[in-house]
Amino acid sequence: MSPADTPEIERKVAAQLGSRLLKILAPMRVRSLSLHNATGQPLWINGGELTEPQRLQVQEAQDAFALDSRLQHLERDLDGTRTLFFCTRTPDGAPAGLVFAVVSVRRRPDVDPGALRERVFTTLRRFSTADLMPPGVLDSRTGPTEPSAEQIAAIEAAKVKAEVGEAVSLRSRPYARLRPGGTTRRYEIVDAGTDSLEQDLKRAARLIALLKRRDSRHAPIPASFTLPLCATSVLSAEFLHRLQPMLQDAHLGEDMLGFSIPAAAWHGHATATELFIAQCKPLRCYVALDDFDLTRGGFDLLRAGALRCLKLDPALTTSAPDDRFAHANVAAIVKAARVLGLYCVAKGVKSAPLARWLASNGIEFADRASRVRKGDSTTRRARVLQQANGA
C-alpha cells in the first residue's frame, strides 16, 4: 500500500498533520518525514519514496513499540543521520500510528528535546480518533444466531486472557547478525519471568495478543519472537493446554512465536521435551533449545519438526577459540544445524574478536546485539532507549 492507495480522507488528514509536524521539527533540520498507520503502511511522505534501510527501520520500530506499551519515542542512527520515531496509541495502549523523521545529527543548541517531543505528541493527540466498532456490531438486520466456531474460539481466548491477565510488561532485544549480508527480525523476550508456570502463561498471553494486533504474517521479512520458559512450563501439559484457545484465535503466521526450552528440561527430561515440541508444531509455534551443547546429549531432539534454533551454551562459545574440544563441538553443531535447516545463536558474546571468530565458524547470530555492534549513538537518551529496548 502506498500513499496513492490511501483513502482520500486519510491522505488529507495525514498531509495536514505532516505539515504541522514539519514546522515543529524544523529545529532538528528535517530531511524527510513520513506518517504510517498501525501496520506500518505509509499514509504520507514529504520526501519521495522510503529507501530499503528506512523501511527496515520502520519495521524494527514497529516491533519495539508493539512489545512495550509504555514506549512512545525512539532514536536511531542511519548513515550519518538521526532517525526519530513517535508512536501514537489507542486507549488500551496498542500502537495506532507511527511518525518517522530523518533529521540532521546536529541540531540547534537552543533546542530542548523534551519540550520538542511534548509538542509533537500534543499535535498527534489533536488528530487522534476513537477506534471504529467491529463490522456488524450495530447491524440491526441480523437477529440472534448460534455462535460460530470462530466466536466460540474468541470466547475461549477471552477466558484465557482474563485468567492469566494482560497487565504484563514485555521487552525484547534483537539477535545480532554476526555474518555479513541480509537483515534479521528475530527477537527474544528478555524479561520473561521464567520462575513459574503462571508467570510464563501471563507473558505468553500478552505476547500472543500483541502479535495478533500486529498481523505481520505477510510482511516481506516476518518478525519472530522467542519467549524463554521455565522447566515447569515445558514439562507440564497445562501450559500449552491453557494457551491453545488463544493461539487458535490469533491465527499467527508460521514462526512468529517461539518458546525457548531451558537445559534443565531438555537435558534431564528428553521424552517430555520431545512431546512438548511435537505439540508446538500444530499450534504453529517454533522451539529453541537453550544452552545447547552436544556433551549434554539432546542430539535426538534435533529431528523434532518444530525445532528452529539452537542457542549455544556461553561456556562453549567463549572457550571455543582457545579450546580444541570446544571448537570441535561448535563445528559439529553448526554442521548439523545447516543440514537440518536450523539456525544457531551464540550466547555470551562480549567482544568483537569473539564475534568475528564465531562468524567465521558459521554462527549466524548473537543474543546480545548491544555488545557487538559499533557506531551506536552515545547520547544519554539514546543509551537509555537502547537498554530499554534491547537494541
Extended beta strands in the chain, E state? 30-37, 42-45, 73-78, 81-89, 95-103, 172-174, 176-177, 186-189, 224-228, 257-261, 286-292, 307-312, 343-346, 365-366
Least confident range from 31-35, 142-146, 228-232: namely 142-146
What Å distances lie between residue 257 and 57, 64, 233, 311, CA to CA? Answer: 21, 15, 16, 16
Amino acid 319: pLDDT: 93
Q: How many CA atoms lie within 13 A of 64 on its CB side?
A: 25
The answer on 208 and 101 residing in a single domain is no
The answer as to whether 136 is a domain residue is no
pLDDT at 159 over 60: no
pLDDT band at 93 (very low <50, low <70, confident <90, very high): low
Find the helix or strand (DSSP H, E) in which 273 lies: helix 270-280
**How many domains would you assign to the chain?**
2
Is residue 142 assigned to a domain?
A: no
DSSP 193-256: -TT-HHHHHHHHHHHHHHHHHH--TT-SS--EEEEE--HHHHH-THHHHHHHHHHHHHTPPTTS
What does pTM read for this prediction?
Answer: 0.59
| 377, 75 Cβ separation under 8 angstroms | yes
Percent of the chain with pLDDT over 90: 32
Average pLDDT in the chain: 77
Q: Is residue 358 part of a domain?
A: yes
- Indicate whether 215 pLDDT > 60: no
Q: How far apart are CA 47 and CA 37, in angstroms?
A: 18
Q: Give the Cα-Cα-Cα angle 377, 387, 68 (nearest 5 degrees).
A: 115
For residue 22, the domain's CATH number is: 3.30.450.30
Position 143 in a domain: no
Q: What is the mean pLDDT of residues 123-147?
A: 40
Look up the domain containing 116 and give its range.
3-127
Domain-embedded: residue 216 = yes
Round to whole Å and give the CA distance between 54 and 60: 10
| Domain-located, residue 135 | no
In a domain, residue 144? The reply is no
Same-domain check for residues 113 and 157? no
Q: What pLDDT is recorded for position 205?
A: 92
Neighbours of 223 (CB within 10 A): 23
| pLDDT value at residue 95 | 76
Give the pLDDT of residue 58.
Answer: 87
**133 inside domain:** no
pLDDT at 332: 94
Percent with pLDDT over 70 in the chain: 73
| The last residue of a domain, from among 93, 127, 161 | 127
180 plus 32 within the same structural domain: no
Per-residue pLDDT tens for 168-205? 667 777 788 887 765 567 888 886 566 789 999 999 99
The pLDDT assigned to 201 comes to: 92
155 and 47 in a single domain? The answer is: no
Task: Summarize pLDDT for 238-279 with one digit per residue, the tens.
Answer: 999 999 999 998 888 888 999 999 999 998 898 999 999 999
Interacting residues of 207 by C-beta distance below 8 A, sequence separation 6+: 67, 170, 189, 225, 227, 257
In this prediction, residue 386 carries a pLDDT of 32
Q: Which of 79, 94, 127 is the last residue of a domain?
A: 127
